[in-house]
């Protein structure tokens, strides 16, 4: 992910572990400053190419349906595109209708109006292949997961033509929160309740303490004993 350093106008790379810029922006929930908005919560900032477009409507509709699941995990959602605040307000009514939500109910999370393109440029959220009617690149489908320490925990960048899977975003948050509190790693397609892996470089003695039910080590042709999985799923703290 690239972002532009506003003081020096240099291009910087946002890396995992970097403190996320404490930007200020207008949103459908009012003027917001990122770190104040998040307080002690996790955050998901995700951009979309434009309001009143089909794939984006399905995505924000799904995110709205899943918003109680994000809240349960202490995660605040924030959407963003280069459209105006008025367009966001009008479009959010369409999204609610698409979801068959009770008319008049409030859209559950803020949509940031970046119509001056400051954030999409700063945070490298543009898709050069997709342009608006003025030939300007649209915002891509970017996902940033920010931890309660305000540091970047995960970033995913999809092109405008591919809609995201918000169940997958919930799944990675479950893994991020689990691995933030426990010295474990989650294997392919892991879901809460499945057994976890012992990360490389954890000594056998420590693994035995971490997993009293035992660790299963798969024998492999290399003879190396690295594929260690907890023998039985334990109730780890999230």
Instruction: Kindly list the residues in this chain that would bind ligand BEZ in the complex (CB under 6 A).
Output: 49-50, 53-56, 130, 138, 160-161
Structure tokens at 129: 């292949």
Q: Give the sign of the dihedral formed by CA 59, CA 65, CA 67, CA 70.
A: negative
Q: 56 or 95, CB closer to ligand BEZ?
A: 56
Based on CB atoms, which residue is closest to ligand BEZ, 81 or 229? Answer: 81
Closer residue to ligand BEZ, CB minimum distance, 19 or 97 = 97
CB of 56 to ligand BEZ, least distance (A): 4
Measured distance CA(130)–CA(42) in Å, rounded: 30
Cβ of 25: how many Cβ atoms within 10 Å?
18
- Give least dist CB 92 to ligand BEZ, A: 15
Catalytic residue, chosen from 11, 12, 56, 142, is: 56
Nearer to ligand BEZ, 83 or 230 (CB): 83
Does the annotation mark 142 as catalytic? no
Supply 165's token pair: 């899977």
Which residue's entry shows tokens 């426990």? 182
- Nearer to ligand BEZ by C-beta: 53 or 99? 53
Q: Which residues are catalytic?
A: 56
């Amino acid at each position: 992910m690239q972002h532009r350093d506003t003081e020096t106008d240099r291009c910087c790379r946002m890396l995992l572990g970097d403190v996320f810029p404490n930007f200020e922006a207008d949103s459908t929930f009012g003027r917001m400053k990122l770190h104040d908005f998040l307080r002690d919560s996790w955050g998901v900032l995700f951009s979309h190419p434009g309001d009143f477009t089909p794939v984006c409507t399905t995505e924000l509709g799904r995110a709205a349906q899943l918003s109680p699941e994000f809240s349960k995990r202490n995660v605040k959602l924030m959407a963003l595109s280069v459209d105006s605040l008025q367009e966001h307000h009008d479009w959010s009514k369409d999204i609610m209708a698409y979801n068959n939500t009770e008319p008049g109910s409030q859209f559950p999370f803020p949509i940031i109006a970046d119509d001056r393109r400051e954030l999409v440029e700063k945070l490298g959220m543009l898709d050069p292949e997709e342009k608006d009617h003025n030939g300007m690149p649209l915002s891509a489908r970017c996902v940033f997961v920010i931890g309660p320490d305000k540091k970047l925990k995960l970033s995913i960048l999809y092109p405008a033509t591919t809609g995201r899977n918000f169940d997958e975003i919930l799944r990675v948050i479950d893994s991020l929160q689990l691995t933030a509190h426990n010295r474990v790693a989650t294997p392919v397609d892991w879901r809460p309740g499945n057994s976890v892996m012992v990360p490389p470089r954890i000594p056998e003695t420590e693994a035995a303490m971490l997993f009293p039910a035992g660790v299963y080590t798969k024998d492999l042709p290399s003879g190396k004993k690295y594929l260690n999985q907890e023998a039985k799923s334990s109730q780890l703290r999230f």
